[in-house]
């Protein structure tokens, strides 16, 4: 088993409603309870932001800074690397974000993000199997970004080029030469993205299948498959972009490429998206999160920090019990939020916090 990553000290100032906050979390289970709207998710969002440099609720910087403040600061001391590390983020209204690792500016966002692994599970993830393909691409991308900085840079370059190309496609009098000038970059970065996703799905498959059996208690054969819009080879991507130019001009956006990829699930041979029960969907989602954790551990040699936002309320008692049994085996640091701490079926290695109006007290 890898070395567990853990936040040994966390401070926040001016982030959402958290005021001035400073805590030394437990190395295993940290249970954060409180009524709705008190700041439980905000606390997880702070930890997640420090690791991923974005809000898991899609919030813009202005929304993350406390309403009556001009800036927010987050600091985490993290153990699990060769030496303890210090991660800092400063958000300032109307100004760019400042990020520091051990006091130094990281070479790139991709570099920073691939050094601090967290696995997040929140109620929105319940749509992973049944919701839009964008959620499943995001799931794959977040895993890859967390261990491969080259992937993070390639994806960022691809998305930037795609936005530019789409903007040109929408122009009143589109400039064809300017549009096709992006095709080479889209083909090369797109091939990196598509091939990495394909390889990842191959690695995740057996892990998801095993975790699904453990969680659901069902022997139904589950299969994962990569469903690319275009085969992720540079030549094929380049040719498809060229051939689709007229259609893209008519539509006003680029139709083909890894931005239209999907990940599909088959349960006993049928598409789970259409046939699985809600209980099966949830078990698959949980299995995907467990697989994400194992994959990151195998790739980085570190057990990621697990953030579970109000997940117990989404699962029945039997699945909750299996989930917590599994978490106890995994051995890393866990932060979980709940309105009902008595539903958290853990009795060892547990620290409880209460949140009220953004203030945290150990209880
Ligand atoms: N930028 C902000 N400044 C001040 N308060 C905020 C900000 N963003 C959100 N909040 C407050 O945070 C609270 C919601 O916190 P949240 O962590 O989502 O609650 P929960 O405990 O239900 O998870 C709300 O009361 C909201 O008004
Ligand atoms: Mg919440």
Strands ordered across the beta sheet of 262-267: 222-227, 262-267, 270-271
Among residues of the chain, what percentage have pLDDT more than 90?
79
Ligand 1 atom at minimal distance to the Cα of residue 63: 1
Q: What is the pLDDT of residue 299?
A: 95
Q: What is the pLDDT of residue 4?
A: 95
CA–CA–CA angle 72, 75, 80 (5° rounding): 155
Does one domain contain both 74 and 199?
A: no
Q: Residue 293 above 90 pLDDT? A: yes
- The mean of the pLDDT values for the chain is 93
Ligand 1: residue whose CA is nearest its atom 24? 37
- Residue 267 pLDDT grade (very low, low, confident, very high; cuts 50, 70, 90): confident
Q: Could you give the CA distance from residue 59 to residue 44 in angstroms, rounded to a whole number?
A: 14
Total domain count for the chain? Answer: 2
Q: Residue 204 above 90 pLDDT? A: yes
Does one domain contain both 25 and 152?
A: no
Rg of the chain, C-alpha, whole Å = 21
Residue 328 domain boundaries: 1-117+304-363
Count of all residues that appear for the chain in the document: 363
Q: What is the pLDDT of residue 45?
A: 98
Please choose, from the candidates 241, 242, 274, the residue with its C-alpha nearest in 3D space to the C-alpha of residue 258: 241
Q: Residue 314 above 80 pLDDT? A: no
Q: What is the pLDDT of residue 322?
A: 80
Q: Could you give the CA distance from residue 254 to residue 159 in angstroms, rounded to a whole number?
A: 11
| Predicted model pTM | 0.92
Does one domain contain both 210 and 71?
A: no
Say if ligand 1 is within 6 A of residue 42 CB.
yes
Q: What is the pLDDT of residue 280?
A: 83
Does one domain contain both 80 and 164?
A: no
Q: What is the pLDDT of residue 137?
A: 97
Q: Residue 183 above 80 pLDDT? A: yes
Q: Residue 329 above 90 pLDDT? A: no
Q: What is the pLDDT of residue 34?
A: 97
Q: At what angle do helices 183-216 and 149-169 cross, to 10 degrees?
A: 120
Q: Could you give the CA distance from residue 240 to residue 118 in angstroms, rounded to a whole number?
A: 36
Q: Which residues contact 108 (CB under 8 A, 6 or more apart)?
A: 149, 152, 153
Does one domain contain both 221 and 317?
A: no
Residues, beta carbon < 5 Å, ion ligand 2: 41
Q: What is the pLDDT of residue 250?
A: 97
- Residue 218 pLDDT grade (very low, low, confident, very high; cuts 50, 70, 90): confident
Q: Residue 312 above 80 pLDDT? A: no
Ligand 1: residue whose CA is nearest its atom 15? 39
Centre of ligand 2 from the C-alpha of residue 12, in Å: 18
- 310-321 exposure pattern, b = at least 16 Cβ within 10 A, e = fewer: bbbebbeeebbe
Of 299, 321, 345, which closes a domain? Answer: 299
Does one domain contain both 144 and 285?
A: yes
Q: Residue 255 above 80 pLDDT? A: yes
Question: Is residue 122 a part of any domain in this protein?
Answer: no
Q: What is the pLDDT of residue 25?
A: 98
Asked whether the beta carbons of 208 and 286 are under 8 A apart, the reply is no
Q: Residue 273 above 80 pLDDT? A: no
């Amino acid at each position: 088993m890898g070395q567990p990553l853990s936040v040994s000290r966390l401070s926040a100032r001016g982030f959402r409603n958290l005021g001035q906050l400073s805590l030394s979390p437990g190395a295993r289970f940290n249970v954060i309870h409180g009524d709705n709207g008190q700041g439980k998710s905000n606390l997880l969002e702070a930890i997640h932001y420090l690791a991923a440099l974005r809000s898991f609720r899609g919030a813009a910087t202005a929304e993350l800074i406390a309403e009556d403040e001009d800036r927010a600061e987050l600091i985490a001391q993290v153990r699990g690397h060769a030496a303890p590390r210090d991660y800092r983020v400063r958000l300032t209204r109307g100004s760019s974000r400042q990020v520091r690792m051990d006091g130094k500016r990281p070479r790139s966002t991709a570099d920073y993000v691939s050094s601090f692994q967290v696995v997040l599970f929140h109620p929105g993830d319940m749509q992973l199997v049944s919701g839009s393909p964008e959620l499943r691409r995001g799931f794959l991308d977040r895993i890859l970004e967390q261990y491969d900085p080259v992937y993070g840079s390639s994806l960022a370059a691809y998305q930037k080029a795609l936005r530019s190309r789409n903007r040109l496609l929408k122009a009143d009098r589109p400039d064809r030469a300017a549009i096709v000038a992006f095709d080479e970059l889209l083909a090369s970065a797109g091939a990196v993205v598509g091939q990495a996703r394909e390889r990842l799905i191959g690695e995740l498959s057996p892990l998801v299948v095993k975790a699904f059996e453990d969680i659901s208690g069902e022997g139904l054969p589950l299969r994962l498959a990569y469903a690319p819009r275009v085969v992720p080879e540079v030549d094929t991507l380049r040719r498809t972009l060229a051939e689709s130019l007229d259609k893209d001009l008519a539509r006003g956006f680029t139709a083909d490429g890894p931005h239209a990829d999907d990940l599909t699930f088959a349960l006993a041979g049928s598409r789970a998206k259409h046939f699985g029960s809600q209980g099966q969907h949830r078990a698959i989602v949980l299995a995907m999160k467990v697989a994400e954790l194992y994959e990151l551990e195998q790739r980085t040699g570190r057990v990621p920090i697990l953030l579970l936002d109000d997940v117990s309320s989404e699962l029945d008692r039997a699945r909750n019990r299996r989930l917590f049994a599994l978490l106890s085996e995994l051995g890393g640091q866990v932060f979980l939020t709940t309105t009902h701490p008595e539903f958290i079926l853990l009795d060892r290695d547990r620290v409880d916090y209460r949140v009220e109006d953004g203030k945290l007290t150990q209880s």
